[in-house]
A = this chain, B = another copy of it.
Amino acid sequence: MTATSDFPSGPVLVIGSGLIGTSVGMALREHEVDVMLVDADPDNVELAVSRGAGRAFLDDTLPSLVVVAVPPVVAGDVVADALVRWPEAIVTDVTSVKSLLQRSVESAPGAERYVGGHPMAGSERSGPMAASAQLFEGRPWAVTPTGTTQPAALDAVVDLALHVGAVPIIMDAATHDRAVALVSHVPQVMSTLTAARLTEAEGNHLALAGPGLRDTTRIAGSDSALWLDILGTNAPDVRAVLQLVRADLDRVIDALGHDDTVLGDVLEAGRRGTALIPGKHGEQPDRLDVVHVQVADQPGELSRLMGDTGAAGVNIEDLRLDHDLGRPVGLAEIAVARGVGDTLVEALTARGWSAYR
């Protein structure tokens, strides 16, 4: 299993003491992991240390894992520098867009020790004072290995996600970026567009604000500079979805007040869409089969499982790990297209895995 009980083999260095970096430190400290912190602004480090996120980084200490938690616009350089500076360390990052960073790193020395990561957690607030050891609890943490990623590097980043309480979900960088355009970046734009209209509210209009408005506009209060960066980095995927949104919006504007069929179709599509969102416990939608596989707590087991699944000709739609830290065996849940679950169980069983549906 990937959640090796001796994770990590040495100190974890978190570069960047903002909301995410400080929260990673605080969550790892709950497992007594040795966490070191560094930030361009020493005040942020001091705050993060005071929140219990770790200790200030000492230049002569060698980290075994480096977590780059800096703004996306500088993350590529910081990752490349870390790979060179610490040639034994595994390096990951937490930025919201993965393909561009992946491409900038893949030709760098040590690229096989880098694995992209993206915790689907955050807050409309930012900075170390908004951090929480529980920020990642039960939240998806995308992990984006490539064909050349070292198994040990993948294991370490999956372990990191598990140790902070997240659910690691393994996918390639391009899939990740299309997915977040849909589930994160476009919702952010829609929330912003809704909230922007409020600036022209007359008189006491906003006195009627209810919880629906607060919910739909909460994330519009997020840091603009960060989102400018994220949206710019993922522009093609975001634009593709927004163009479909615009087509629907045009249909709604045209249909309002006289074509209930069109309006009803859009409203029903919205209802179907919400029903597809996995619940807090990550139920799979109906169109997928889920195969459960026991995975021993040994380095490289997860990579071997992914390899054996691929060799069976089965495409992994979703892979989650459920693992009590320190237990010798964990459970992987592999979601595959409807109808191929049994095929995968047979193939994995033939290769010695304990697999069932």
Contacts and interface: CB of A to CB of B under 8 A. Distances in A.
A280 to B, nearest CB: 9
A320 B317 CA distance: 53
Given A217-B274, A277-B214, A335-B204, A266 B196 contact: yes
Interface in A209-268: 209-222, 224, 227-228, 231-232, 235-236, 238-239, 241-246, 248-250, 252-253, 256-258, 260, 263-264, 266-268
A198 B205 CA distance: 31
Contact of A241 (B197, B204, B243, B272): B197
A303 interface: no
Interface residues on A, range: 35 or more
A206 B278 contact: yes
A188 interface: yes
Interface of A: 118, 120-122, 139-140, 142, 169, 171, 175-176, 178-180, 182-184, 186-222, 224, 227-228, 231-232, 235-236, 238-239, 241-246, 248-250, 252-253, 256-258, 260, 263-264, 266-278, 282, 285, 315, 317-318, 320, 335
18 contacts: A139-B211, A142-B208, A169-B204, A178-B202, A179-B205, A182-B197, A183-B208, A186-B194, A190-B193, A194-B270, A196-B269, A199-B272, A207-B320, A215-B216, A224-B264, A224-B267, A228-B260, A246-B246
Given A118-B208, A231-B256, A235-B258, 13 more contacts: A175-B202, A179-B201, A187-B194, A190-B216, A195-B274, A196-B248, A196-B269, A203-B315, A209-B278, A215-B219, A220-B270, A220-B274, A235-B257
